[in-house]
Amino acid sequence: MVGDTDVTTDQRHAAALLELAEADLAIARLSKELDDLPVKTELLRLKRTEKELEALQQKASTLIASIEREVKRLEDELAQIDDKISVMRARADAVAAADHKELANLMKEVDSLVRHKSKKEDELVEAMERSEKAAAKRAEIDAAIQQARAKESALADRYRAEGGEIQRRIAEQQAKREALAASLDPALLARYEAVKAAKHGIGVGRFENGRCSVCHIDLPADRVQALESSGPIGECPNCHRILVVSVDR
Ligand SMILES: [Zn+2]
């Protein structure tokens, strides 16, 4: 025999269970809304762009450093060639009057050094041009990164503003669901959580017009009768969700 008190308790649990399921659905919907905020997608896309730009910046810096080493090497080589030319010219001055053949040899060597110097100077000019181009490219990348970071900061502000309101509503629903969960019979709560986890987040249906409000499958008359006489909380014979048969809300 079921007493009046038990019926009332069952009714109260059934009502709380429905409200709990509503809170859970609201939380799922709001969480999705938060995930789907266009500003979030924009923010993620911008962060990817920033990563790509940072990689380009790294590449440009490596290239500039390597060209700088090349410039330094060419400058050292040119200084050495200048030294050699000075030495050769000093020698030429010393032998000038005495030995025509030696003088001719020395002048030939000086000519060859001057040609070599000219070639190295061309290389240096070319390396410096490359260095300038690379530096301009890096300046462009630096500017793009700065621009992206400023935009990211503005988007983050927008996300905090738009997402903050949704997060506040999620917290509200979570507080509500915690109070409802605490009011439920622990066994019923555990059953609900298990069914919800197994059934894509929807653990409870209402029994309306001979059907479960979730799966909408027409039930045979004997099943309908069995549910109607089973008390406020049953199980859908089709989708096996908890079925709230009747409730005074
Ligand atoms: Zn069902």
Cα(50) to centroid of ligand 1, in Å? 48
pLDDT at 2: 45
Give the Å distance between the CA of 150 and the centre of ligand 1: 51
pLDDT at 6: 61
In a domain, 141, yes or no: yes
The answer to whether position 199 is within a domain reads: no
- What are the CA-CA distances from residue 153 to residues 83, 101, 108, 144 (Å)? 57, 77, 67, 14
CA 206 to ligand 1 centroid distance, Å: 9
Output the CA 240–ligand 1 centroid distance in Å: 6
Tell whether 81 is covered by a domain.
Answer: yes
Q: What is the domain-level CATH number for residue 93?
A: 1.10.287.1700
198 is a domain residue: no
* Distance between Cα 242 and ligand 1 center (Å): 8
Any domain includes 10: no
Give 204 Cα–ligand 1 centroid separation in angstroms.
Answer: 8
- Answer yes or no: is 216 within a domain: no
**Interval between CA 237 and ligand 1 midpoint (Å):** 7
Taking each helix axis from N to C terminus, what angle separates 4-35 and 100-183, rounded to the nearest 10 degrees?
A: 160
What is the pTM (predicted TM-score) of this model?
0.62
Q: In what order do the strands lie in the sheet with 204-208?
A: 211-212, 204-208, 242-244, 233-235
Residue 3 lies in a domain: no
Q: Cα separation of 7 and 231, whole Å?
A: 8
Q: Which domain holds residue 132?
A: 37-182
User: What's the number of domains the chain is made of?
Assistant: 1
Q: Rounded CA gap, 113 and 244, in Å? A: 100
Q: How far is the CA of 235 from the centre of ligand 1 (A)?
A: 8
115 within a domain of the structure (yes/no): yes
Gap from CA of 2 to ligand 1 centroid (Å):
26
**Around 234, how many Cα atoms within 13 Å sit in the side-chain half-sphere?**
23
pLDDT in single tens digits along all 249 residues of the chain:
444 556 688 888 999 999 999 999 999 999 999 999 999 999 999 999 999 999 999 999 999 999 999 999 999 999 999 999 999 999 888 887 778 888 899 899 999 999 999 999 999 999 999 999 999 999 999 999 999 999 999 999 999 999 999 999 999 999 999 999 999 999 999 999 999 999 999 999 999 888 999 999 998 999 998 988 888 999 999 999 999 997 654
Residue 38 alpha carbon to ligand 1 centre in Å? 35
